[in-house]
Amino acid sequence: MNYTESVRALMALGREMAAPRQARVQKFGLENIATLAEALGNPHRAIPCVHVAGTNGKGSTAAMLDSILRAARLRAGLYTSPHLERINERIRIQGADISDEDFADAWNRVEAAIESLLANGRLAAHPTYFECLTAMAFVAFAGSNDKRVDFAVYEAGLGGRLDATNIVVPEVAVITSIDFDHEDYLGHSIQEIASEKAGIIKPAGCVVSSAERPEAREVIAQRCRELGARLVEVDTAWQIETVQSFGGCYRAVAVASDSRHKLELEPPLSGRFQIRNALAAAAAARLLAERGFPLDDEAIARGIRTVRWPGRLERLGDRPAVYLDGTHNPSGARELLKFWEENFQRQRILLVYGAMRDKAVDEIAGLLFPRADSVILTEPRQPRAISAPLLAEMTGHLAKKCSIIPDSAEALEHAIASASPDDAVFATGSLYLVGDLRTYWSRRAAPKATDSFR
């Protein structure tokens, strides 16, 4: 198959959480991915890796680790989800999305293995969309000599214990913040959710945790004790000396608990919480250095300073300030509210909001809507999106001023047109909404064909 045919075949399997009942039956289990990986020659075992799980911050932390590896001149692969605009974003090598040609090659290898396994009865059902993409990342990262990566970073998709990525045996496992999200799949208590995330811990492994909730920290610590794994907690591994804010980003100086390492952390990603993600990435990098990988403090600082992770408090414009942020759970909403309190106390905030049906929209809206001067309800272009009129029925009473504009691009333009130069416009909710608006913004910002003749 060519690239277009490969993407079409993958999409026909259904994206993450597209069919909840099917997801419960198929996604939660490692048998399919383990059988498929074995048929492919277990490519995931050929490449050392870090495995990252958590409720929030796991994507940013994974991206920082990937950037650190590349700063140390290692050829790095990064596997994340979901994508914002193109499916290729999920598999990145040396900071670039996998090419269309390599994407199609990986799919063809994976699909050929699947067809053979189905034919001889070794697979009872076709692997899911996420399982196929995970296998494709394994294949791409362990490619031929000129394309093989030196090191891979895998972000868990959902949970950890039964996530398709969890057949890897990482040099270091990283668990970021843990909070409520996907409760129907992961559990209805912090302890249950933490137990699923802690499922990525391997016997005698190394673990970095930046979990803040005491009940989550205890679950992780207990799991490490049971498996004889070494645990490094961010709060005890680093002491922050100073934190400075500049333009919504933060700079910090942190000293390691052994006083041998002092880092100046300058992530170019908005939000104070990114300092905590940077400390988790730095702690993981230090453990890798102890295990013989060529990562020094300079590479750690440079990698964090040059990381790129779009769609998370991403600033697109000025006067008015325009931000996109995938605030899809209450924990993320609390962080966004802190960001507003620290950086936009005197400015009006115009909020564009759209969400999916499986999210805690009442709680998120209860946090964000009262602070916004006006709320424009819209919807991502996804079958699982809550319609803007229904969203208004559910949450409109929480807003000072509420309007409905189903088309997300029109909603964003309306917010910008209604804002004064000193105001701030935030489009948030689903990452699918963020992806839609990033695509729109890139077209909006592109020069017209006639510009070159003026």
Mapped onto helix, strand or coil, the DSSP state of residue 93 is: strand
For residue 453, what pLDDT band results from cuts at 50, 70 and 90? very low
Angle, helix 100-119 to helix 129-141, in steps of 10 degrees: 120
Q: How confident is the model at residue 183 (pLDDT cuts 50, 70, 90)?
A: low
Task: Calculate the alpha carbon distances from 82 to 90, 139, 388, 409, 428 in Å.
Answer: 7, 19, 23, 21, 16
Same domain? For 355 and 232 the reply is no
CA distance 133 to 339: 34
User: Which residue, 269, 287, 305, sits at the end of a domain?
Assistant: 305
pLDDT, tens digit (0-9, with 9 covering 90-100), for 271-328? 999 999 999 999 999 999 999 999 999 999 999 999 999 999 999 999 999 999 999 8
pLDDT at residue 17, rounded to an integer? 53
Banded model confidence at residue 433, pLDDT cuts 50, 70, 90: very high
Per-residue pLDDT, averaged over 326-342, amounts to: 94
Kindly indicate the confidence band of residue 258, based on its pLDDT and cuts at 50, 70 and 90: confident
Q: Are residues 254 and 341 in the same domain?
A: no
Q: 99 with 223, same domain?
A: yes
What is the residue range of 368's domain? 314-445
Positive or negative, the CA dihedral 410, 411, 412, 418 is: positive
The dihedral through the CA atoms of 322, 325, 331, 335 has a sign that is negative
What is the per-residue pLDDT across 121-180, written as a single tens digit (0 to 9) for each?
999 899 999 999 999 999 999 998 788 999 999 999 999 999 999 999 999 999 999 998
In this structure, the answer to whether residues 121 and 231 fall within a common structural domain is yes
Per-residue pLDDT tens over the stretch 381-409 = 998 899 999 999 999 999 999 999 999 99
What CATH number is attached to the domain comprising 187?
Answer: 3.40.1190.10
The CATH code of the domain that includes 337 is: 3.90.190.20
Quick one: which of 413, 419, 424 has its CA closest to 247?
A: 424
Q: pLDDT tens for residues 69-104? A: 999 999 999 999 999 999 999 999 999 999 999 999
Residue 62 burial by Cβ neighbours in a 10 Å radius (0-12, 13-18, 19+): buried
pTM for the model stands at 0.94
Quick check: 58 and 176 in contact, CB under 8 A? yes
Distance, CA of 454 to CA of 451 (rounded, Å): 5
294 and 340 inside one domain: no
- CA distances from residue 189 to 111, 146, 160, 179, 209 in whole angstroms, order as listed: 38, 46, 16, 9, 19
Question: Are 269 and 347 contained in the same domain?
Answer: no
> Would the CA dihedral through 206, 239, 57, 152 be positive or negative?
negative
423 neighbors 349 (Cβ within 8 angstroms): yes
Q: What is the DSSP string of 306-359?
A: T---TTSSEEEETTTEEEEE---SHHHHHHHHHHHHHH-SSS-EEEEEE-BTTS
| 192 shares a domain with 237 | yes
Residue 450 sits at φ, ψ, to 5 deg, of -80, -15
Give the residue among 200, 150, 167, 160 at the shortest CA–CA distance from 181.
160
Number of domains the chain is built from = 2
